[in-house]
Every structure is written in structure tokens, then in C-alpha cells.
Amino acid sequence: METKEKFKDFVKSNPILLKHVQDGKMTWQKFYEIYDLYGEDKDAWKDYLVKETTPVKAATTFDLANFIKGLDLDGIQNGVNSLQRVLSLLQDMSSNKASSQTNTYKPRPIYKHFDD
């Protein structure tokens, strides 16, 4: 029973073993047998504890492709159209306000008096 508990702790500290089982490359029984025979000897586990590295570029390209597939292009187009309408409305309002507020005040020349 003690070996079984130690094996569970070993698996918890090395979650990469779970990936091997999920991929069908190994079974828990085989892992337990290796652990029972060799314990935590690094040489016995070197093939299984090596972290698999995936090229960053391939993962990024794949993620980007999935992101693009998930985009709602119609929704984006509707949002852009709404934004254009709002900007156009604001531009019209600002130009109307500027034209309606034309300065009708004409300063009186300094040399003129009110009676002149």
C-alpha cells in the first residue's frame, strides 16, 4: 500500500505522465510497474518525463487560424457601420453648430463715438 501512495504522489508531481496515458502511449499499470521496479530513478523515467515542446510558430499559426474562424464578420461589419454613422452624425452636429454660431459682433472702431 505504501508504494501505491508514493506512486500517486509521484504522478501528481509529474503531470506529464497523464498526457502519455491520454494519448494511449502508456497505461497506468505499466507506469506503476516501472515505478515498482525502479522507483523514482531518473534513468527509468527519462523517456516519459521529457516535456514535449511544440514549435511556437506552429502553435501561434494554429491558434490564429482558430481565432479567425471564430470571428463573426457580419457582426464586425455592423459594428463598423454603426461607428461610421455615429462619427458622421457627430461631424454634422459640430459643423452645424460652428456655422450657426458665426460671429455677428463687429467691434466698434476706437475713434468712433456712440453719437457719430
pTM higher than 0.75: no
Cα atoms in the Cβ-side hemisphere of radius 13 Å centred on 20: 19
Query: Between residues 51 and 105, which one has the greater pLDDT?
Result: 105
Identify the pLDDT of residue 79.
92
Tens-place pLDDT, residues 60-113: 788 878 888 888 888 899 999 999 999 999 998 888 766 666 667 777 777 777
68, 33 in Cβ contact below 8 A? Answer: no
